[in-house]
Amino acid sequence: MPDTTRPTSARHSSSILVTGATGNLGREVVDRLQARGLRVRCLARRQLDPRPGVESVAGDLTDPALVRSALAGIDAVFLIWPLLDSAPAHDLVAELAITAPRVVYLSSTAIDDEAARQSDPIVQVHADMEALLHDAGLRPVVLRSDTLASNARGWAAQVRAGDVVTGPDIARTAVVDERDVADAAVTVLRAHHDHLDHGPYVLTGPEVLSRADQVGRLGAALRRHLRFEAVPADLARSRMLADGRPERLVEALIAASVCRPESNRVTDHVERLTGRAAGTFARWAIDHASEFS
């Protein structure tokens, strides 16, 4: 494999655009780029709090004029696509093709390269995005991420209220610490283009976990007996709708819980990119325990 860890010689003058910069993963990417003295521009609908070396552009990824101005002077882009439809991405990809920065796209390990259609709408969007970026000649570096450990933050209110976490019983996955994904992203964002293996990298944690396994490990970190209780899809749907989540998102999440097959794949790609083995969910839970009390 080529030396992806060799940084570009001009790294100190590189400007990197981070999309989804207010999100669980994007925040970690921004922190790491800033700590390495790179110039960072953030794009999200909300402004980030001002900080040295970090510019913030507020607006929607589907707004081509905003994307154009956000791309001015940018060498590399950390790209996420948080929408449930890839059609509005055509304008963004066209803007990327004009300025042609290095693109690192955050995709999903659930993509089945052999399948004509993916298991559910969320995975389909990632497959469509990868194809759009390739077809535009952008040669993206694709990081396919497994379930982010930070998704567990969605359980915080239930954990504060009692010992039972309920939800749809999603298939087991090799949950990956978002800090490892951010470290991997920073490696490829800084790498010299000539030395880049464009992937797809498959970023997983070290063990395959059910939601019940995760809740158990979270309980151990909190020194409590927490347990997971799976609820049927219909009940999960009505609860999510009652919480005010958009119907389309709810349907996509239900489809993912019902249709996405179990993945037993554990890779060493985090280690290949970061030089360190991927962290466990138990470690993540210990490091984030205060967020649940």
151 near ligand NAP (CB under 6 A): yes
Q: Which residue has the tokens 């589907």?
A: 62
Among 8, 14, 15, 20, contact with ligand NAP (rule: CB under 6 A) = 20
Encoded tokens for 166: 């309920």
The correct pick among 82, 154, 246, 275 for binding ligand NAP (CB under 6 A) is 82
Q: What distance in Å separates the CA atoms of residue 292 and residue 16, rounded to the nearest whole number?
A: 33
Q: What are phi and psi of 237, to 5 degrees?
A: -60, -50
Under the criterion CB under 6 A, does residue 22 sit at the interface with ligand NAP? yes
Q: By CB under 6 A, name the one of 18, 78, 81, 292 that touches ligand NAP.
A: 81
Q: Does 29 bind ligand NAP (CB under 6 A)?
A: no
Q: Residue 7's beta-bridge partner residues?
A: 191
Q: Which stretch binds ligand NAP (CB under 6 A): 10-18, 74-82, 157-165, 235-243?
A: 74-82
| Residue 108 touching ligand NAP (CB under 6 A) | yes
Q: Which is nearer to ligand NAP, 8 or 107 (CB)?
A: 107
**Rounded-to-integer distance, Cα 164 and Cα 142, Å:** 37
How far is Cα 133 from Cα 225, in angstroms, rounded to an integer?
Answer: 46
Q: Which residue is nearest to ligand NAP (CB)?
A: 23
State yes or no: residue 45 binds ligand NAP (CB under 6 A). Answer: yes
Taking contact as CB under 6 A, which single stretch among the options 18-26, 183-191, 220-228, 231-239 is the one that binds ligand NAP? 18-26
- Residues 34 and 54 sit within 8 Å (Cβ to Cβ): yes
3-state SS string over 35-63? HCCCEEEEEECCCCCCECCEEEEECCCCC
CB of 232 to ligand NAP, least distance (A): 22
Token look-up 């985090």 returns 270
143 contributes a contact to ligand NAP by CB under 6 A: no
Please give the angle made by the CA atoms of 143, 39 and 45, to the nearest 5 degrees.
Answer: 65
Which residues contact ligand NAP by CB under 6 A?
A: 20-26, 44-46, 60-62, 80-83, 106, 108, 145, 147-148, 150-151
